Amino acid sequence: MTSREALVARIMEGQRRFQEAMARDRAHPFFSANLTMSQLKILFALRLNGACGGQELAQTMGVSLATMTGIIDRLVASDHVSRREDPKDRRVRLIELTPQAVKLTDEMIIQGEEFQRQLLSRLTLDELGVIADATDIMQRALAEDQSP
């Protein structure tokens, strides 16, 4: 094994443990939010791709438009999404997440800020510096990855 491979393995294992430790936090909202799976999928789709029309949503989920109307109705009633007119095409009703639903999906997908802050509070200034450098390096790799 090259030293490079060894480093990568060490990092991956550490990251895995870290994620594992935060899994409990992320799983919480799944228990407290009273959603069906169809509803959850739609919230995720909207969170990842932004607002879109019902037709597109129905096709993505492999469901008829009539079915989608029903699902969206219930999500509107529970204040997770809202409908508004598409200024570009008035036939379309754009579906978008309410701020409350953005927060909910963030808790499910993004990590527990509280937990992270608590961990960081245990570190020395020097250690924080190393973490910050590492974060910056990953940011650059991420940026290059998205526009090579």
Q: Does 50 bind its own copies (CB under 8 A)?
A: no
Phi-psi region of 33 (alpha: psi -120 to 50; beta: other; left: phi over 0): beta
**Stretch 74-93 residues interacting with its own copies (CB under 8 A):** none
Do 43 and 104 meet the contact criterion of CB atoms below 8 Å apart?
A: yes
**Stretch 23-42 residues interacting with its own copies (CB under 8 A):** 23-24, 26-27, 30-31, 35-37, 40-41
In angstroms, what CA-CA distances link 17 with 22, 40, 52, 76, 141?
9, 27, 36, 38, 22
**Stretch 48-77 residues interacting with DNA (CB under 7 A):** 53-56, 58, 61-74
**Stretch 127-146 residues interacting with DNA (CB under 7 A):** none
Based on CB atoms, which residue is closest to its own copies, 16 or 84? 16
Distance CA 36, CA 80 (A): 12
Shortest Å, Cβ 68 to its own copies: 15
Q: Among DNA, its own copies, none, what does residue 55 contact (CB within 5–8 Å per kind)?
A: DNA
Distance CA 14, CA 115 (A): 17
Binding residues (CB under 7 A) for DNA: these are 36-39, 53-56, 58, 61-74, 83, 86, 89-94
